[in-house]
Chains A and B, each alone.
Chain A
Amino acid sequence: MRWSKARALVLGLPWLLTFALFWLYPIVYSLIIGFTDKQLLSPERHWVGLDNYRSLLSDPAFIASLKNTFIFVVGTIPFTTVIALALALLVNREFRGRGVFRSGYFLPSITSMVVIALIFTNLYQRGGYIAYLASLAGLSVPEHGFLYSDSTALYSIMAMDVWMAVGYYMLIFLAGLKSIPGELYESAAVSGAGRIRQFFSITLPLLRPVGLFIVVINSIKSFQVFVEIFVMTKGKFDTSTMVYFIYETGLTTKFQFGYASAAAYILFVIIAVFAAAQFWLFRRKQVVW
């Protein structure tokens, strides 16, 4: 038994070392800095206790970024997850040319986010292709283009995000589908279960582990959405998100690193609560095997 414990530890060593060497110090450092008035360019810093946290909660810019981040998370994850699963089921079957479709769907996921954001900035502008197609379809286009209007900017970025992410999660669902032994379907078919029954009683439950991964990772990434905002709107037109707020107050113009670190830890707590809820929802209800 002791050997087994030692083995468990040795196998975990690569992460343990990386964590201890590279990530522990930054985490502790920024946590502490969050309780000071540290400015990036100034060597001085003073302990201010919970002041940063208190002022953040009454900072309208922070509250707005909080609101936008929630809209972003809630508005993208269900779509991304469902579409990704649908695509995975669609290309999981045997048919001619499926490799091409799979690669095509995956292509946005392997293009740099910066480049995608630049492309969509162009497509979304007045006179861009998306505005053109929308007006052909009889939809109303904001006067200055999709990204220059309070009512459409954030949703346009969210739509792009779903478009970009589905390919990656499709791939993970696909890998998950492959872990389901074919025999299960065979025996289900023998006992007379239809396609839909099979999906709900075999496929979905057995996809739970990868499903959890997808939902948790996608939430974390969405809570931390940044590049899209940085490239496309710079937080204007009501699109500022929490990480954008952190970047702007901490790293660019204002250099209030203490304040920004405190904001990062509020974000941390929110994500942690959210993730914990997801782990709880996805907990194994019965022993599958």
Chain B
Amino acid sequence: MRAVRTTLRYAVLLAVLVIMVFPLLWMFRVSLLETGASISLFDVSNLDFTLQNYLDLFESDRMARFLFNSAFVGVAVTLGNILFCFMVAYTIARYRYIVNKMLFVTVILILMIPAHIIIIPLYVLMVRWGLYDTYWALILPWLVNPIGIFLVKQYIESIPPSMEEAARIDGAGEMAILFRVVMPLCRPALAVLAIQVFFTNWNSFLFPFILTQREGIRTIPVALALYQGHQAIDWQHLMAGSGIAVVPVLVLFVIMQRQIVAGITAGGIKQ
């Protein structure tokens, strides 16, 4: 009986896995094809492959620069978000002042306006403040993001406040409670946040493209878009580039996964 259930479980798990990764396997397969090979329904038994597309991408030293820019901006923004989203989320979740309520309203509000409308006035602001075409334009507005605040706030609300009260009775300072007690409890949410922020930044195209113009400060998604010629998509190189772009986020996920599932067992809520 048990064996049947285990088999069944793995069958379901595997079936879902196939559906989830098939399009990405397709992407990987295309990235290994010779340039110009047909990409529609190619022969499955054909095992020829070439790494040339990957080599081509790294041929120019520009790629290293783009990678550095993406990584630099990504890490800065992610670190900023972990700290700031946590602070803001905590104050919204645990303090019941009008200010906090209004704070939350602005957080949700900003989410509801399409980026395409905001981008023009934002561009004007950046030019006026001399931030246009600098790293600041890619970092400052994104150091704390509304989705992140909302996520962490919801998570904090699901944690019983008894832990903090116990610490308070023990005479711990508010800052100590914040960073020593609550923050560790939020590790799963902060790990999700880190992945999401890093990923969003890593793949962000429109804002970096509009807000920069020097080649030296452009990021990977912009570089990949520039690689495309007029009227034609170079599938093999695009898929290779996209494959490479997934790797850092995947690595981050594998590292963070432990934080997510470690959750409360390791954090040690004992009521």
Direct contact between the two chains A and B in their complex (CB within 8 A):
yes
Q: Give chain A's interface residues, CB within 8 Å of chain B.
A: 4-5, 7-9, 11-16, 18-19, 21-23, 25-27, 29-30, 40, 87, 90-91, 95, 99, 101-116, 118-120, 122-123, 125, 127-129, 132, 163, 167-168, 171-172, 174-183, 206-210, 212-213, 216-217, 220, 224, 226, 243, 246-247, 250-251, 257, 260-261, 264-265, 267-268, 271-272, 275, 289
Which B residues are within 8 Å of any A CB, using their own CB?
Answer: 6, 9, 12-13, 16-17, 19-24, 26-27, 39-41, 83-84, 87-88, 90-92, 95, 97, 99-100, 103, 106-118, 120-122, 125, 140-141, 143-144, 146-147, 149-151, 154-155, 157-162, 174, 178, 188-189, 191-192, 195-196, 199, 203, 205, 221, 233, 235, 238-239, 242, 245-246, 249-250, 253-254, 257, 260-265, 269, 271
Rounded to whole angstroms, the CA-CA distance of A56 and B7 in the bound complex is: 56
| Chain A residue contacts of B16, Cβ below 8 A | 87, 90, 101, 105
- Residues of chain B with a CB closer than 8 A to A127's CB: 40-41
Question: What distance in Å separates the Cβ of A173 from its nearest Cβ neighbour in chain B?
Answer: 10
Contacts of B144 in A (CB 8 A): 14-15, 18
* Subset of 30 A-B contacts with CB under 8 Å: A8-B91, A12-B91, A14-B143, A15-B106, A22-B140, A27-B118, A29-B121, A40-B120, A95-B9, A105-B16, A107-B21, A111-B242, A115-B27, A115-B239, A118-B233, A122-B235, A125-B40, A129-B22, A167-B20, A175-B155, A175-B260, A180-B158, A181-B264, A181-B271, A209-B155, A217-B150, A217-B151, A226-B116, A251-B116, A267-B112
Instruction: Evaluate whether A213 and B113 lie within 8 angstroms (CB atoms) in the complex, with A26-B125, A30-B121, A115-B27 already known.
Output: no
Cα A289 to Cα B159 in complex, Å, equals 9
- Pick the residue among A9, A177, A217, A271 that contacts B147 (CB under 8 A): A217
- Looking at chain B's contact residues, is the secondary structure mostly helix, strand, loop, or mixed? helix
Residue of A nearest to B19 (CB): A163
A119 to B243 CA separation, bound complex (whole angstroms) = 12
CB distance from B16 to the nearest CB of A (A): 7
Given contacts A112-B242, A115-B27, A268-B112, contact A289 B118 (CB under 8 A): no
Whether A14 lies near B84 (C-beta < 8 A) is yes
- Shortest Cβ distance from A42 into chain B, in angstroms? 14
Complex-state Cα separation, A221 to B131, whole angstroms: 28
Which residues of chain A come closer than 8 Å to B84, judged between CB atoms? 14-15
On whether the beta carbons of B238 and A103 are closer than 8 Å, the reply is no
Known contacts A104-B17, A127-B41; A112/B113 CB under 8 A: no
Chain A residues near B264 (CB, 8 Å)?
178-182
Q: How far is the CB of B14 from chain A (nearest CB, A)?
A: 8
* B155 adjacent to A14 (CB under 8 Å): no
Docked pose: A288 CA to B128 CA in angstroms: 50
Q: Are B263 and A175 closer than 8 Å at their CB atoms?
A: yes
Indicate if the CB atoms of A15 and B88 lie closer than 8 Å: yes
Contact B88 A250 (CB under 8 A): no
A95 to chain B, nearest CB (A): 7
Question: Judging by beta carbons under 8 Å apart, are A172 and B121 in contact?
Answer: no
Residues of B within 8 A of A7 (CB): 91, 95, 174
Instruction: List residues of chain A with CB within 8 A of the CB of B196.
Output: 168
Contact of B23 among A123, A175, A180 (CB under 8 A): A123
Partner of A23, one of B24, B39, B118: B118
| Complex CA distance for A210 and B115, rounded to whole angstroms | 25
Task: List the 6 shortest-distance A-B pairs measured between CB atoms, nearest first.
Answer: A178-B263, A175-B188, A11-B91, A14-B84, A26-B121, A8-B95
Which residues of A sit under 8 angstroms from B92, Cβ to Cβ?
A: 12
Please determine whether B110 and A19 come into contact, CB atoms closer than 8 angstroms: yes
CB-based contact B245/A112 at 8 Å = yes
